[in-house]
Structure 1
Amino acid sequence: MANELSGNVKPIAPGDRIEAAGIKIEAVPAYNTVESRLEAHPQRNRWVGYVLELGGRTYYHAGDTDHLPELERLRSEVAFVPIGGTFTMDADEAAGLVKKISPKVAVPMHYGFVVGSKTDAQRFKKAARPVEVAILTPTNAFKQ
């Protein structure tokens, strides 16, 4: 797929670290372990989430994944985690992950449109305590 894109494209795999335009990027695993979701995002595909370091801050974007033990070592100030439950971890599983990685703020994603519901975000917010949760809508943005 990288050869179909224009510009300076570099494919990366889980565990790879690169720097581009002053942004440090670490590719982390993103796959399913729950039986009912195994074929949605199989480990053999080597898909990734990202830890980005820019402007002195660290951000984790999980991509489509379940709560994986290897993700518990991550540290980030802001964590974007899926909570939809159909193809990714659900609200409670995602809350368990953010409690392990302890971001300053967790942002739920991948719910309320294709899968999951808006009530999943509220369930995540409650289950993720004491981690602060920012529930975004398409009409506003999180500012720190």
Structure 2
Amino acid sequence: MVLNESSRKKLGEGEALEHGKVLEAAGVSVKAVPAYNVTVGSMNYHPKDRRDNGYVITVGNLRVYVAGDTEVIPEMADLGHIDIAFLPMNLPYTMTPDQVAAAARTIRPKILYPYHFGSTDTSHLTKLLEGGKGIEMRLRKLQ
């Protein structure tokens, strides 16, 4: 189990990764990247100084970004090539549909899976990404 240090302390087990660190096993690379809130009123949910993680998982040439609980942050521009992005859309804890669209335009994945969206209207995100310059959005309703 790969997680950040505060989660490892709570659970008492797992491999804690700090931002920028990489764990490699069985041909899979997992890199920890920042995840935090930047919107006034939401920063208490995932404060930057807590050092929460998102992850870039690489298997062969496939790169998958799992954002964690975050909003659009500057570090997203530095992720490099991403094939598949999983971006959270759940107010007030993560991103609005507009923020997910902005993050997707920054990251430019081939495939986008919004997650954590609960009752958020996903049709607005679909409209925002129409003609999305090569970004295919896929929705999975998971309860």
Give the alignment's Cα RMSD to 1 decimal: 1.7
1:4 to 2, 12, 15: 12
Q: Distance in 2 between matches of 1:126 and 1:28?
A: 29
Answer yes or no: is 1:86 the counterpart of 2:87: no
Contact 1:30 1:62 in 2 (8 A): yes
Is the 2:55–2:66 contact (alpha carbons within 8 Å) kept by the matching residues of 1? Answer: yes
Q: Which runs of 4 or more aligned residues in structure 1 lie more than 3 Å from their structure 2 counterparts after TM superposition?
A: none
1:13 matched to 2:18: yes
Q: Deviations over 1:26-85 (max 9, x none)?
A: 111000110110100001110100000014311000000010011122221100001113
| Contact 1:105–1:133 (8 Å) recurs in 2 | yes
Given residue 128 of structure 1, which amino acid in structure 2 is its aligned partner? L
For residue 136 of structure 2, the aligned residue among 132, 136, 143 is 132
The one of 53, 64, 70 equivalent to 1:65 is 70
Residue 15 of structure 2 aligns to a residue in which SS?
Answer: coil
In the alignment of these two chains, the number of paired residues is 131
Q: What is the TM-score with the length of structure 2 in the denominator? A: 0.84
Are 1:103 and 2:121 an aligned pair? no
Q: Which runs of 5+ in 2 are unaligned?
A: 1-7
Alpha carbons 2:36, 2:46 under 8 Å: kept:
yes
Q: Secondary structure at the match of 2:41?
A: helix
Report the AA paired with residue 129 of structure 2: A
Residues 99-131 of structure 1, C-alpha deviations (whole Å, 9 max, x = no match): 11110110001111xxxx242x22112213312
Give the share of equivalent positions with the same residue, in percent.
32
- Asked whether the equivalents of residues 90 and 120 of structure 2 are also in contact (C-alpha less than 8 Å), the reply is no
Aligned partner letter, 1:51 = V
Equivalent residues of 2:37, 2:48 under 8 A apart = yes
Give the alignment's TM-score, normalised by structure 1.
0.83
More strand by share: 2
- Are the counterparts in 2 of residues 60 and 76 from structure 1 also a CA contact under 8 Å? yes
